[in-house]
Structure 1
Amino acid sequence: MKAWNALRPIVQLFAQSPYRRRMLLGSLLAAITVCAGMALLGLSGWFLTAAYVAGLSSATAVVFDVFAPGAGVRFFSMLRTGARYSERVVTHDATLRVLAALRVQLFSRLAAADTALALRQRPARLLHRLTADIDALDAVYLRLLTPAVSLLVSACVTALALTIFLNWQSGLLVGAMVLAGGLACVAWCVRHGFMTALRRSFAGEQLRAQVIDAVGAQTELVMVGTLPRQMARIAAAERQQFAADIRLNRLESGVAVAMAMLGHLATAAALLCAAWLAQKGDIGAPIAALATLLLLAALEPLVHIRRGAMEAGRTLLAARRIAPLLGAAVDAPSSETQAPATGLAVDMQAVRLQHPGSASALLQQIDLQVADGEWLVLAGPSGAGKSSLMALIAGDLAPSAGQVLRAPCASLPQRTELFQASVAANLRLGRPDASDAELWAGLQTAGLADVIRALPQQLNTPLGSQGAGLSGGESRRLALARLLLHPAPLSLLDEPTEGLDRQTAAQVMQAIAQWHAQRAASGQGAIVMASHLQREARHADRIVWIAPLQGGMAQARKGTAEFEALLQRLRPG
């Protein structure tokens, strides 16, 4: 029951998928393939035996019709080949489409504020959920449901065929042997391979986590001299996975032998029944050959269901991990996605934030409004909560209490995220329909146009992972150019000139100020910026100083003495 409770959301996802008709067609094609194979072997056995019997006498050899059964053999051969090819195409296409939709749905759930921050500390786990766990679910349809349907059909067709050509007792006996024996083999696979499949899955996840940790922190590991220890952990995880693979292969080999024995027993039972009836004179040798040979194809579905049953532990573990995430409803529409009143870009009302495990709240009773077209700077000492407040506005954090209403936004976090693609492809993440001229305008605003023009392929220059090929400051400016291209009415900047030299930073801030002035003239384009530098904050319309230990928040507008006083508390630059 627990296994079904874990698999039920996944099965429902397959059943409610827009590709369910394609999946039903795939199962039908799999059943047709099995039936065509049984008919092919049965008819071939009848044809060869009947031709041999007819050849014993010249009189019967002359009148024996070889064309009709020969055409039947060709027909069933072509039908089986076409149905098998079509079944592979249809079932795999439907499965991949369903899993692609599931991966998007799971990613959307993991991107929610309450889940994303928890998984941010374990990126290997997030990667495993989106890749290995999703991939493990293909066995539900491809290696369990579809072969199970084919096995049921083959057992019924076997019983019906033997009832027609032999007698109902033979049909019932052999059909029951095929179905019961197949289910017994599957149950044995699940029982003995379940824990081994679980161990292999855990070892695979551990191996991936250890490798990601080693690659991501290789410099630190070398500096502290612990790289050999990390490599030993990787080797240990690999040995565990290898041992589980060997165990699964041995179990699968044993099941293959058991299934072969089942096929031999079923064939022997059909042969004995046919021989008994032939001896009585109720049937001839060709019918006996037909009844015996069709059994060889009746057990074909067990070959496909065997691997799925062996990996049932991995599939069930993946379903148990993913099902709660799919079943948990994302709060909609939450305060982080609701728009504020007209004329406001951000409206925070009585917001309180307390991180899990913390004894006290980081932010309490925060009331903050940002008007359309306004440039607001969040400042304060380190650890005061500037980044947390920015995360609340962006929707990366959910408030413990209160409401956060904001307009659609684009953000530039402290960590620059660039992808292994061309310069133009990275920029068009901000605006997919942007022309080359608009891309150059964004680069010009960010102070990077001259650098990109100097590259051999300019906008088509490929970048490596995390912007490899550009310096840290250039990567930062490329991310800023992408933000400037985004049409969102609210921009969130977290220390936008961090890592830039004084002259370049001044040029970038002046360009941002001009860009903001053009948007603010129409009453749009608000900016919320976290900063600790005077060169950034002096362009703002208002500074909000966050200091929870010093009485909460202080704020001042540009042109006042209070504004200059707060500006002087920031680091010169």
Structure 2
Amino acid sequence: MRALWRVLKLLLGASPKAMARGAALAVTVLLMGVALLGLSGWFITATGLAGLAGIGIAFNVFQPSAGVRLLALGRTAARYGERLLTHDATLRALAALRVDLLRRQARAGGRALARLRSEATLTRILADVDALDGLVLRLALPVFAALLTHAVVFAMLGWLAGWPVALTVAAIYLPLAALVLALLARSGMAPSREGEREAQALRRGMIDMIRDREALILGGQLAARETALRAGDQRARAASGALDRAERRAGARLSALVALSVAGALVAGGWLAQAGGLDPARAAIGIFVALALAETVLPLRRGFAELGRMVDAASRVDPGASAPGDDREGQETERAEAPILSIDRPEARFTLNRGEALALEGPSGVGKTTLLLRIAGLMAGEGIAIAGHAPENWTEGALRARVAMLPQRSALIAGTIRDNLALAAPEATDDTLLQALQVVALDAVVRDRGGLDARLGESGAGLSGGQSRRLALARCVLRAPDLLLLDEPTEGLDLETATRVLDNLRAALPDSAILATLHRGGDHVIFTERLTISRP
């Protein structure tokens, strides 16, 4: 529950003024509804009593009827404003939650980010943020508005209809409604969690089936996969049905509570009227006010029914939790006598010292990329030592300062070329950035596009595949790592450009150890050794 409170604090703090205005309008709507029904009840009762007494012609009907119309129109306008402001504030709050979540993930290390790169995790994050939209709209604001409305109504009812009536209504409503809603939250905890879990599994299963449909058809597994998805759908429906039944039971109990409160107000008001302490018209106010207060508790059912879903979602996106990075006290000192890289695995055995370069060759699918990922600490693996220590024994910061990797898929962002290079060297000068671009033979391309301030689209749109890879390689050059891992660095380049890039790379990083996986170009002069990797 602490995580839920922290998420709620973040949501409310994202747009506090809009939330406060929305809450004020929510209270206004409830108070106007209570006042409308209370005034209408008094008006009807007083008019009837005046007619029975034969003084109906002298009764002023204009002011009460004007008040009824004012409250009805005001309530409608306040309801519209309340919906507009609270929904707008909630959308702003969810945007702030997404930004906070992304910031924490951005601070995570490479190992944690590698674990996040799965469809299940991304789908889970999106669903968790969506689940929390009801935390404000269905739970926090309605509960706050209900409690404040009951406090104001208690005071006004005690003044107009007598304190016995006010105490009776409050004593029935507040404790019994809290009990009913607590029971609903408890009974709905498991089915709301189960329903959300099964819904996510069903969504992922559908995506997987559509993506792998050809393989499933060829393997004769399509019918079995469909049967499994139908079973998951049935489980999700069963959990949803259990939650709906719990909510309906709570609705029936709350309706009975409203009837009991109306009966209590009738008895208390009748007793005061019979004792002569209150006229019958004012005694009727308590009855109608008790009936109108149903609007404060009945809408709370859905929020309390989905509390389990919200608690689970909040525990995963908890803003008070640390980023899923690397909190271990890792090794940060290299062994002076150890090589920069030492590999002793079934598929390959070699060492790399400063200034050496090795070309790793082999057919596709043999595991060259996997080996690079293990060396970079993005996948677990034994038999790997960087400066004498296994990758997992280095802290995230120390490992990234020592090792840089160029993957097959270039990771570029929408923005300027300077923005993309600044990811590796935020404080680098323009001259330094241009020198890095010259190393990867991209300086002329950038100059023709308008220089470092030339803008790129999403994922580097505007550059060719080879140009995108060279821009990502320029970031590695800016890091000047002790160990540079290159996964097919010359892919998409003509022979002349590939030769130029490799020559410049060694000249710019003379002391760096370079390990490159290649389909071609392994005979280049910069590579002091070539090794063909075998299947482990």
Question: Shorter-normalised TM-score: what interval?
Answer: 0.7 to 0.9
Note the C-alpha offset of 1:253.
2.0
The answer to whether residue 114 in structure 2 is matched with residue 131 in structure 1 is: no
Whole-Å Cα distance in 2 between the matches of residues 63 and 527 of structure 1?
99
2:148 aligned to which of 153, 161, 164: 153
Indicate the residue corresponding to 1:13 in structure 2.
Answer: 10
Secondary structure of 1:159 counterpart: helix
Whole-Å Cα distance in 2 between the matches of residues 488 and 87 of structure 1?
55
Note the C-alpha offset of 1:462.
12
| Structure 1 residues 472-499: Cα deviation after superposition (integer angstroms, max 9, x where no partner) | xx9854753774898983597521455x
Matches within 5 A, 1:403-442: 404=398, 413-415=407-409
The answer to whether residue 377 in structure 2 is matched with residue 388 in structure 1 is: no
Indicate the residue corresponding to 1:212 in structure 2.
Answer: 207
Note the C-alpha offset of 1:251.
2.2
Whole-Å Cα distance in 2 between the matches of residues 536 and 192 of structure 1?
65
Contact 1:26-1:90 at 8 Å conserved across structures: yes
Seen in structure 2, the aligned counterparts of structure 1 residues 324 and 71 have a Cα distance that, compared at 3 Å, is closer
Indicate the residue corresponding to 2:517 in structure 1.
Answer: 531
Secondary structure of 1:274 counterpart: helix
Indicate the residue corresponding to 2:469 in structure 1.
Answer: 480
Whole-Å Cα distance in 2 between the matches of residues 393 and 369 of structure 1?
23
| Structure 1 residues 176-217: Cα deviation after superposition (integer angstroms, max 9, x where no partner) | 211112112201211222211122122112212322332333
Query: What amino acid is aligned across from residue 278 of structure 1 in structure 2?
Result: A
The answer to whether residue 171 in structure 2 is matched with residue 176 in structure 1 is: yes
Whole-Å Cα distance in 1 between the matches of residues 49 and 160 of structure 2?
18
| Structure 1 residues 223-264: Cα deviation after superposition (integer angstroms, max 9, x where no partner) | 322222222211111111111122222222222222111111
Seen in structure 2, the aligned counterparts of structure 1 residues 360 and 173 have a Cα distance that, compared at 3 Å, is farther
Secondary structure of 2:391 counterpart: coil
Seen in structure 2, the aligned counterparts of structure 1 residues 477 and 285 have a Cα distance that, compared at 3 Å, is farther
Matches within 5 A, 1:26-425: 26-55=22-51, 61-62=57-58, 64=60, 66-67=62-63, 69-110=64-105, 112-120=109-117, 123-323=118-318, 326-327=321-322, 330=325, 379=360, 387-388=372-373, 391=376, 399-402=391-394, 404=398, 413-415=407-409
Indicate the residue corresponding to 1:342 in structure 2.
Answer: none
The answer to whether residue 501 in structure 2 is matched with residue 495 in structure 1 is: no
Whole-Å Cα distance in 2 between the matches of residues 361 and 251 of structure 1?
58
With CA pairs under 8 Å and 6+ residues apart, which has the higher RCO, 1 or 2? 2
Whole-Å Cα distance in 1 between the matches of residues 211 and 194 of structure 2?
26
Whole-Å Cα distance in 1 between the matches of residues 271 and 97 of structure 2?
55
Number of residues of Structure 1 aligned to a counterpart in Structure 2:
490
Query: What amino acid is aligned across from residue 175 of structure 1 in structure 2?
Result: A
Seen in structure 2, the aligned counterparts of structure 1 residues 115 and 287 have a Cα distance that, compared at 3 Å, is same
Contact 2:180-2:254 at 8 Å conserved across structures: yes
Whole-Å Cα distance in 2 between the matches of residues 136 and 530 of structure 1?
45
Query: What amino acid is aligned across from residue 9 of structure 1 in structure 2?
Result: R
Whole-Å Cα distance in 1 between the matches of residues 24 and 523 of structure 2?
67
**TM-score with structure 1 setting the length:** 0.68
**TM-score with structure 2 setting the length:** 0.72
Whole-Å Cα distance in 2 between the matches of residues 274 and 299 of structure 1?
19
Seen in structure 2, the aligned counterparts of structure 1 residues 294 and 369 have a Cα distance that, compared at 3 Å, is farther
Whole-Å Cα distance in 1 between the matches of residues 415 and 269 of structure 2?
70
Seen in structure 2, the aligned counterparts of structure 1 residues 528 and 487 have a Cα distance that, compared at 3 Å, is closer
Matches within 5 A, 1:441-452: none
Whole-Å Cα distance in 1 between the matches of residues 410 and 230 of structure 2?
33
| Structure 1 residues 511-557: Cα deviation after superposition (integer angstroms, max 9, x where no partner) | 8569979xx89x99x997732244267385xx4xxxxxxxxxxxxxx
Contact 2:131-2:310 at 8 Å conserved across structures: yes
Contact 1:42-1:293 at 8 Å conserved across structures: yes
Indicate the residue corresponding to 2:382 in structure 1.
Answer: none
Secondary structure of 1:176 counterpart: helix
Range that drifts further, 71-80 or 35-44? 71-80
Secondary structure of 1:530 counterpart: strand
Give the percent of matched residue pairs that are identical in Structure 1 and Structure 2: 30
Matches within 5 A, 1:507-518: 509=498
Note the C-alpha offset of 1:323.
3.4
Note the C-alpha offset of 1:136.
1.6
> Alpha carbon RMSD of aligned pairs, Å?
5.2
Whole-Å Cα distance in 2 between the matches of residues 334 and 13 of structure 1?
31
Whole-Å Cα distance in 2 between the matches of residues 139 and 35 of structure 1?
23
Note the C-alpha offset of 1:56.
5.4
Contact 2:340-2:352 at 8 Å conserved across structures: yes
Whole-Å Cα distance in 1 between the matches of residues 345 and 522 of structure 2?
31
Note the C-alpha offset of 1:174.
1.0
List runs of 5+ in structure 1 lacking aligned partners.
339-348, 433-440, 450-458, 468-473, 544-562
Contact 2:6-2:320 at 8 Å conserved across structures: no
